[in-house]
């Protein structure tokens, strides 16, 4: 197991330094030998995950921002509250990125994550808030998300989504797709398996599905579907 941590500090310039955002960039790298799944546990901030064919390591660029602060106190507060690590745990790589409770000082900080991983791995995400973009992950993908938009493109295996709020877009999935959604639009296209949706509110648009479409609950909002290869079942 190999981990490399590089820290760079970037001050974002605005007219008044007192009102600038504090920003740090940290990079983490982990060799992927013996790892079949990347598990990401994140708090607030956006996340971009890309699968790379033939890659032999997982790389993470974490941009840490504290709105309205640009001083040494911001750096000290980050160091005493941040959880940011990438480690191997048996056949899983675990990426943790959040701030401990009790920040209690001005605007809440957040961490923007850019992640590159071997394309043939599975991916698990437990996220608090912020947009998530996933592309070219050829294994199975499971996402438990609090709020924020979620986009997947080119997933090779099954997809499981448990989402609180925010739009969901799935393009090209090689297995079954299951979505449990609180609110927000759902747009699913190009699924090799079946699609199951349990939705609270928001429009649902499903097309180009090889097998069944099962709507457990469509809540409030329109339902449109086309090019479904199997049966269409609406349970409520």
Place of tokens 């940290």: 26
Residue 160 included in any domain: yes
- Same domain? For 1 and 113 the reply is yes
Q: How far apart are the first and last CA of the chain?
A: 50
The yes-or-no verdict on residue 75 having pLDDT over 70 is yes
pLDDT value of residue 101: 67
How large is the average pLDDT for residues 57-69? 91
Q: What is the dihedral of CA 108, 112, 118, 123, to 10 degrees?
A: 40
- Same domain? For 110 and 54 the reply is yes
Residue 79 included in any domain: yes
How large is the average pLDDT for residues 212-231? 94
- Same domain? For 112 and 41 the reply is yes
pLDDT value of residue 74: 80
Place of tokens 């959880």: 83
* C-alpha dist (Å) from residue 119 to 112, 177, 215: 21, 19, 30
The pTM is what? 0.89
The yes-or-no verdict on residue 13 having pLDDT over 50 is no
The yes-or-no verdict on residue 95 having pLDDT over 80 is yes
- Same domain? For 102 and 199 the reply is no
Residue 132 included in any domain: no
Give the bridge partners for 95, in sequence order: 40, 86
Which of helix, strand or coil describes residue 76? helix
For CA atoms 90, 63, 133, 166, the dihedral sign is positive
Residue 192 included in any domain: yes
Number of domains observed in the structure of the chain: 2
Q: List phi, psi (to 5°) of 67.
A: -60, 135
Q: Report residue 112's pLDDT band, with 50, 70 and 90 as the boundaries.
A: very high
- Same domain? For 33 and 100 the reply is yes
DSSP 100: -
Of residues 147 and 72, more confidence is placed in 147
pLDDT value of residue 2: 43
- Same domain? For 77 and 26 the reply is yes
Tell me how far apart the alpha carbons of residues 170 and 215 are, in angstroms, rounded to a whole number: 16
Residue 110 included in any domain: yes
- Same domain? For 146 and 104 the reply is no
- Same domain? For 110 and 147 the reply is no
The yes-or-no verdict on residue 193 having pLDDT over 60 is yes
How large is the average pLDDT for residues 185-193? 98
Residue 168 included in any domain: yes
Residue 127 included in any domain: no
- Same domain? For 113 and 197 the reply is no
Domain of residue 159: give its range: 140-220
pLDDT value of residue 48: 98
- Same domain? For 37 and 99 the reply is yes
pLDDT value of residue 174: 98
How large is the average pLDDT for residues 47-70? 93
- Give Cβ neighbours of residue 56 (< 8 Å, ≥ 6 apart): 31, 32, 33, 118
How large is the average pLDDT for residues 18-31? 85
How large is the average pLDDT for residues 9-20? 43
How large is the average pLDDT for residues 21-48? 95
The yes-or-no verdict on residue 228 having pLDDT over 50 is yes
pLDDT (tens digit per residue) in 121-152: 999 999 999 999 999 999 999 999 999 999 99
Residue 41 included in any domain: yes
The yes-or-no verdict on residue 161 having pLDDT over 90 is yes
């Amino acid at each position: 197991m190999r981990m490399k941590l590089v820290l760079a500090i970037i001050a974002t310039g605005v007219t008044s330094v007192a009102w600038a955002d504090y920003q740090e960039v940290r990079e983490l790298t982990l060799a992927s030998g013996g790892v079949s799944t990347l598990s990401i546990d994140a708090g607030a901030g956006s996340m971009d995950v890309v699968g790379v064919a033939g890659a032999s390591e997982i790389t993470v660029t974490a941009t840490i921002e504290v709105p309205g602060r640009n001083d040494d106190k911001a750096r000290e507060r980050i160091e005493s509250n941040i959880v940011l690590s990438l480690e191997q745990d048996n056949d899983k790589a675990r990426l943790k990125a959040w701030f401990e409770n009790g920040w209690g000082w001005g605007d809440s900080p957040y961490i923007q994550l850019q992640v590159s991983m071997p394309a043939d791995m599975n991916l698990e995400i437990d996220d608090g808030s912020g947009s998530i973009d996933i592309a070219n992950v050829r294994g199975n993908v499971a996402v438990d998300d609090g709020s924020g938009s979620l986009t997947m493109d080119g997933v090779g295996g099954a997809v499981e989504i448990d989402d609180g709020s925010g739009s969901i877009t799935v393009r090209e999935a090689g297995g079954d797709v299951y979505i449990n959604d609180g609110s927000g639009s759902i747009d699913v296209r190009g699924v090799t398996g079946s699609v199951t949706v349990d939705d609270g509110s928001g429009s649902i648009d499903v097309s180009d599905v090889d097998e069944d479409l099962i709507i457990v609950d469509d809540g409030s909002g329109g339902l449109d579907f086309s090019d479904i290869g199997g049966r269409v079942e609406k349970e409520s």
